[in-house]
Amino acid sequence: MGLDAGADDYVAKPFNLQELLARIRALLRRGKPSLPPLLEWRSLKLDPSICEVTCNDQLVRLTPKEYALLELLLRNPHRIFNTSALIDQIWSFEELPTEDTIRSHVKGLRQKLKAAGVSDDPIETVYGIGYRLRAKRDNSQGTKARRSKTSKQSGMETGTETRVETVESQADELLKIWEQIKETVEQRVVLLEQSVGSLHQDQLSEELRQQAEQEAHRLAGSLGMFGADEGSRVAQEIELLFEVASSLNLKQKQHLTQLVVQLRQELQSMDQGQLLETPIPEELNDQRPCLLVVSLNSLLAEQIAAEAPRWGMRSQSTANPVTARAQISKQRPEIVLLDIAAANALENYWMLLAELSADTPPVPVVVLTEQESLIDRVKVVRLGGRGVLRQPVTPTQILESVNQVLQHTQPTQAMVMVVDDDQQVLTALQRLLIPWGLHVSVLDDPLRFLDTLEATHPDLLILDVEMPEINGIELCQVVRNDPRWSGLPILFLTAHSDARTMHRVFAVGADDYVCKPIVGPELVTRIFNRLERSRLLKSMAEVDALTGVANRHHSTHDLTEFLLWCRHCHQPFCFALLEVASLKQINQQYGHAAGDAVLARLGELLRQTFRSEDAIGRWGGGEFVVGMAGMSKAEGIQRLAVLQNTLHQFEFKAENGLLFQVTLQAGVVEYPQDGADLQALYCAASTVLR
């Protein structure tokens, strides 16, 4: 179908010129297309924008059903789909496949993927339940432990995206190399077996002896790389024995035979994948995010565990960093609460904090301290802590901030709002869309439309054209006339695809439409197309292009949210106003390109220095703001001093070759002492700056 193949829209012939023009306007409104994210599983890549599947850059040809099946699994990595769920998702209402049909499609898909060289079968059969995507190897305990060790040993930054990805796929790559050399290894062991046979018959030629010694040497040097340490050790012993093969007594010869047999066994167990890391089974049922509480205060841990389900989390607890490490290696939590209030030796806690932040991906950590603690918050942040809470706080407040950090770190899922007076359609859409990782809010009463829109803040709106009281066309007009919602993608559901209806729909600002009865895959494809485009537009609207930090509008939103949170949890809030000194003179003296270079560099430094729990924004020419939740003024000044120093040491080069340096001035204030709201804090900071 044209849309799946990457077309943006279609017009049925014979077409109506008005309709065509309206559609073109709708397409133009969307702005530049972007590349939607690739879905990946090891060497397998699926590009939803062009519906293409590749393995090691080789195209894999799939039928539409096989493709839909694979995309569904890739988009829902943890979910198990039983056959009826698959039928709902992938087959349209008219087709009525049996379980056998599904099985044969799964089989067909598996065969094609295997033929394309995908290592392991990405589709895991969960016996008696259904199918799901096989967990990636990075869930295995062995890999993680090794990975964090390596990153420390080699002193490498694990922060950069590309490196993290390559490390993740390394186990797979290693497996591939093993696949390639398996044959050779096999031949080497066969040669050893032959040589041992000849030796027992006293017929071992010098040539064969040398060869056997060499092959054993090679095996010794190589097997350990693939995890077979014992194999390497055995091979080394074999090598030494072959070196002196002519002078071996009977007992030594027998020992050599045993070693070769043992080597063969090692090889067999490697072949069955026993020595390469085996993924540990993960908990199937509970997919709620897991909070690990590291605290000596068992009462607090209990209280948190009791309340966590209300926040959609589950909680585990452990007493100290040492036991925490064991716990984490068993099951990786989504977030950690590190209670250092009653702890005396902090070094272990800092180590754990640094380890968790260096993990890939980092595990966010919230640190809980005593009321009058002299804990260096700046140190906590530098080690990667996402937040500091000072006692006294209630378990509810703790969970509230834990939840907030979690929201910031987890990829946000798109919210789709559906308005239709037919309850059956709403239920069908919910069942259809939720497995694709979309949040779905449904409304059957168009009169409550505006309230629901405000409350749910959807990323995409689906409207039924025909509804009593207010119809979809009118709702669409309401949305398009409100500047806050003008960019919201709108998709229409309609039973009538006549030219007049189509024209009305596009004329009021719709982005797309889907005909009833709804065909699942088509609707899903259209929804994802819309979402991916509007996400790009949104990021263009929220981020300052030159510096890469949020613009004033967007950062104000973040700052206000942080401020509210600090007020609620009685935490300090540090607000800083930053200004590049005499930017105007720099522009005049060295040119605007040089001025822009300064701003871009500053933006880069700001993004490096401040994390997701801080809010940064560019508010005007050379004016930037930083909001640090949970930080005092003194702590904020300390963090900014590093930034100011780094920027000052940087030498900028003007077009005329002149070198110059810049100074960053900062006005730092604290809530609530210096101001009760954002505007007051801004004014106070401006006064400090002047």
Partner 1 sequence: MTKHILIIDDEFDIRAVAQLTLKAVGGWDVSLAASGAEGLTKAAAEQPDVILLDVMMPDMDGIETFRALQANSSTQAIPVILMTAKVQAAEQRQFAELGIAGVIAKPFKAMKLPGQIAKTLGWDES
Minimal distance in Å, beta carbon 329 to partner 1?
Answer: 16
**Contacting partner 1 (CB under 8 A), which of 45, 163, 516, 567?**
163
Bridge partner residues of 294 (DSSP):
318, 338
Q: Which stretch binds partner 1 (CB under 8 A): 162-170, 202-210, 278-286, 497-505?
A: 162-170
CB contact burial 329-347 (16+ within 10 A = b; e otherwise): eeebbbbbbbbbbebeeee
Q: Check if the beta carbon of residue 464 is closer than 8 Å to that of residue 425.
A: yes
State which of residues 94, 128, 161, 180 lies at the interface with partner 1 (CB under 8 A): 180
Segment interacting with partner 1 (CB under 8 A) among 5-13, 117-125, 217-225, 660-668:
217-225
Site membership for partner 1, residue 361 (CB under 8 A): no
137, burial (CB in 10 Å: exposed 0-12, middle 13-18, buried 19+): buried
Q: Write down the residue that tokens 């073109």 correspond to.
A: 24
Task: Give the count of alpha carbons within 13 A of 550, CB side only.
Answer: 18
Of 59, 156, 593, 641, which one interacts with partner 1 (CB under 8 A)?
156
> Considering only 93-101, 211-219, 279-287, 555-563, which stretch makes contact with partner 1 by CB under 8 A?
211-219
**Residues between 225 and 284 that touch partner 1 (CB under 8 A):** 225-226, 229, 232, 236, 239
CB of 233 to partner 1, least distance (A): 10
Task: For residue 575, give both structure tokens.
Answer: 């607000």
78 vs 149, which CB is nearer to partner 1?
Answer: 149
Asked if 181 touches partner 1 (CB under 8 A), the answer is yes
| Interaction of residue 221 with partner 1, rule CB under 8 A | yes
Q: How far is the CB of 234 from partner 1 (least distance, A)?
A: 12
CB of 42 to partner 1, least distance (A): 14
Q: By 3-state DSSP, what share of the chain in percent is helix, strand and coil, each rounded to 5? A: 55, 15, 30
- Piece of the chain touching partner 1 by CB under 8 A; list 62-70, 126-134, 221-229, 339-347: 221-229
Binder of partner 1 out of 2, 14, 128, 155 (CB under 8 A): 155
CB of 342 to partner 1, least distance (A): 33
CA distance 607 to 342: 34
Exactly one of 51, 86, 113, 167 binds partner 1 (CB under 8 A); that residue is: 167
Taking the complex as a whole, the smallest distance from the CB of residue 181 to partner 1 amounts, in Å, to 4
Spatial CA neighbour of 224 closest among 279, 266, 193: 266
> What is the footprint of partner 1 within residues 110-149 (CB under 8 A)?
146-147, 149
Tell me how far, at minimum, the Cβ of 173 lies from partner 1, in Å. 5
Q: How far is the CB of 140 from partner 1 (least distance, A)?
A: 13
Q: Which is nearer to partner 1, 153 or 424 (CB)?
A: 153
What CA–CA distance (Å, rounded) separates 474 from 660?
A: 59
What SS3 class is residue 68?
Answer: helix
DSSP string, 468-535: SSS-HHHHHHHHHHSGGGTT--EEEEES---HHHHHHHHHTT--EEEESSP-HHHHHHHHHHHHHHHH
What are the tokens at 347? 């070094």
For partner 1, the binding residue among 103, 144, 218, 253 (CB under 8 A) is 218
| Rounded Cα distance, 662 and 589, in Å | 13
Indicate whether 22 belongs to the interface with partner 1 (CB under 8 A).
no
| Rounded alpha-carbon distances, angstroms, from residue 14 to 20, 166, 439, 497, 626 | 11, 51, 38, 13, 57
* Shortest Å, Cβ 207 to partner 1: 14
Tokens describing residue 455: 């409350």
Residue type, 468: P
Pick the piece of the chain touching partner 1 (CB under 8 A) from 7-15, 76-84, 85-93, 171-179: 171-179
- In 3D space, the residue among 49, 39, 47, 44 whose CA is nearest the CA of residue 4 turns out to be 49
Sequence letter at residue 170 = Q
**541-600 residues near partner 1, rule: CB under 8 A:** none
30, 531 in Cβ contact below 8 A?
no
Smaller CB separation from partner 1, 232 or 555: 232
Q: In the complex, what is the shortest distance from the CB of residue 355 to partner 1, in angstroms, rounded to a whole number?
A: 15
Residues 437 and 77: their CA atoms lie apart, in Å, by 10
Find the shortest distance in angstroms from Cβ 151 to partner 1: 8
# residues contacting partner 1 (CB under 8 A): 35
* Complex with partner 1: residue 329 or 661, whichever CB lies closer: 329
184 binds partner 1 per the rule CB under 8 A: yes
**What three-state secondary structure class fits 619?**
strand
Nearer to partner 1, 224 or 591 (CB): 224
Instruction: Considering the complex, state which of residue 269 and residue 497 has its C-beta at the smaller distance from partner 1.
Output: 269
Least CB distance from residue 210 to partner 1, whole Å? 11
Binding of residue 222 to partner 1 (CB under 8 A): yes
Opening angle at CA 68, ends 67 and 70, nearest 5: 65
What is the rounded radius of gyration, in angstroms, for the C-alpha atoms of the chain? Answer: 31
Residues that bind partner 1 (CB under 8 A): 146-147, 149-151, 153-156, 163, 166-167, 169-170, 173-174, 177-178, 180-181, 184, 214, 217-218, 220-226, 229, 232, 236, 239
